[in-house]
Structure 1
Amino acid sequence: MALDKQDLLFAGLMGSKAVNLIQNANIVNNELINRVLPVIPFLPVKNEKNNVTSKSGHAINAEDNWTTRDSIEDQKQFFPLSFSFKENGQKWLFPYEPMINIASGNSIVKRNVAKQGDKLIGTIKERWSRKDFDITVTGVLIGSIMQGKPEDCFPREHFSKLFEFLKHSKEIFIYCHPLDLISVNKVVVEDYSFPFTKGENVQAYELKLTSDYSYELLIKDDF
């Protein structure tokens, strides 16, 4: 399947890994445009039909600059994602709805039986336990002004707030409908990256999170 110009622009924005996802992503492309990622005018050509306005900044000529919204309210996102440091504490909403991948499985202890014969095939599964949920969050932060100095166009406020959660040395609370359905409300941050991203006001990110639960390791017995 050949890549069109829009696919190449998306790959340039999100990184080389996105090329492998483009064919599947095209199936839900319309939904992503309506619900997840904003429409970004990459090309420096003004079009009066685009819904953009001018916004002044430091040392910026507003007449020659594009502006866009730097966040979307949670009511207009399909699966909004939020973080908080404490349970039921103040939530920080991801400004644009990210893509979330969830993976898990079972840890199984297997034993090989010698001289199995024809009636006993394979291994003996002695016991198993559920693995953690591995959650990958991929998205972008977008500043309101598309060109200019870093203090004007780079999404500094959203970037700094997200980094506060990423460097937190304890579990963080997470709120998202699919995660709520599988009873995941706490995660720890394992890895994160901010890859090179096209656009002066755009910064992509990828977070690797692992589910966390509260356990009582000491059990009282009533005699």
Structure 2
Amino acid sequence: MALDKQDLLFAGLMGSKAVNLIQNANIVNNELINRVLPVIPFLPVKNEKNNVTSKSGHAINAEDNWTTRDSIETEKQFFPLTFSFDEKLKNSWLFPYEPMINISSGNSIVKRNVAKQGDKLTGTIKERWNRKDFDITVTGVLIGSIMQGKPEDCFPKDQFIKLFEFLKYEKELYVFCHPLHLLGINRVVVEEYSFPFTKGENVQAYELKLTSDYSYNLLLPEDF
């Protein structure tokens, strides 16, 4: 099965190993469409009848240009991620496509080497330890609805600008995502972010490096 322009685009984003996956997913998805199920939104696979639509843009010939969805509904995302400036979600933004989230942490341990411990005592003495912050890496893409044309038509500028508003914020951000909540992570601070070169006129990848943040009361009342 030959790959079309859209398949090659996402194969470039996901790596060369994704070519076989896309081909197999195309076959499976088309068979499911012809029977019972709707389009599977996990992979941007193409179905000749149901997954390609015509949507006109400014100064663009819709007949020669493919369009795609610029976002996936919350109900169709497995672990949707939302950023908010406040805890009550008054100023929040849902990531349009579910990103990949990697979480890492550990313990900071103070070790002491004790001389002449004997044959039965090996290693170091662990005096105390405390938990490290959670380091969170969020990787994903922003996708414009029109695949080819002028930058103002294709590039997902509205999503790009909205995401950047959160990244440049000088305070902590509230995050809403199920696996993060299970670890007690409700707030994060942005340490680094990057927008690497991405194949496709309507696609922009991003990588965010976040650190968990908690409320601490450093002033303790003194009992007399």
2:181 corresponds to: 180
Structure 1 moving runs of 4+ over 6 Å: 5-8
Alpha carbons 2:9, 2:200 under 8 Å: kept: no
**How far has the Cα of 1:56 moved from its partner?**
1.3
**How far has the Cα of 1:118 moved from its partner?**
0.8
Alpha carbons 2:143, 2:202 under 8 Å: kept: yes
Alpha carbons 1:172, 1:187 under 8 Å: kept: yes
Alpha carbons 1:35, 1:78 under 8 Å: kept: no
2:207 corresponds to: 206
**CA pair 130-35 structure 1, distance change in 2 beyond 3 A:** farther
1:40-119 alignment, distance < 5 Å = 48-90=48-90, 91-119=92-120
**How far has the Cα of 1:11 moved from its partner?**
5.7
1:185-200 alignment, distance < 5 Å = 185-200=186-201
**CA pair 50-196 structure 1, distance change in 2 beyond 3 A:** farther
**CA pair 60-8 structure 1, distance change in 2 beyond 3 A:** closer
* TM-score, normalised with respect to structure 1: 0.83
* TM-score, normalised with respect to structure 2: 0.83
1:160 corresponds to: 161
**CA pair 11-62 structure 1, distance change in 2 beyond 3 A:** closer
Give the gaps of 5 or more residues in structure 2: 26-38
**How far has the Cα of 1:40 moved from its partner?**
5.4
**CA pair 11-105 structure 1, distance change in 2 beyond 3 A:** farther
CA distance in 1, matches of 2:59, 2:50: 24
* Larger RCO (CA under 8 A, 6+ residues apart): 1
The code of the aligned residue for 1:200 comes to E
2:28 corresponds to: none
Match of 1:39 among 38, 44, 67: 44
Identity %: 77
CA distance in 1, matches of 2:189, 2:11: 29
Residue 129 of structure 1 aligns to a residue whose secondary structure is: strand
The code of the aligned residue for 1:80 comes to P
1:44 corresponds to: none
The code of the aligned residue for 1:64 comes to D
Q: CA RMSD in A?
A: 2.4
The code of the aligned residue for 1:69 comes to R
**CA pair 187-86 structure 1, distance change in 2 beyond 3 A:** same
Give the gaps of 5 or more residues in structure 1: 42-46
**CA pair 8-105 structure 1, distance change in 2 beyond 3 A:** farther
**CA pair 95-222 structure 1, distance change in 2 beyond 3 A:** same
2:127 corresponds to: 126
Alpha carbons 2:72, 2:97 under 8 Å: kept: yes
CA distance in 2, matches of 1:60, 1:188: 40
Residue 168 of structure 1 aligns to a residue whose secondary structure is: coil
CA distance in 2, matches of 1:40, 1:135: 29
CA distance in 1, matches of 2:213, 2:219: 18
Q: Give CA-to-partner distance per residue, 1:59-94, whole Å, 9 cap, x none.
A: 111110001110111111100000001111322100
Residue 58 of structure 2 aligns to a residue whose secondary structure is: coil
**CA pair 35-88 structure 1, distance change in 2 beyond 3 A:** farther
**How far has the Cα of 1:55 moved from its partner?**
1.2
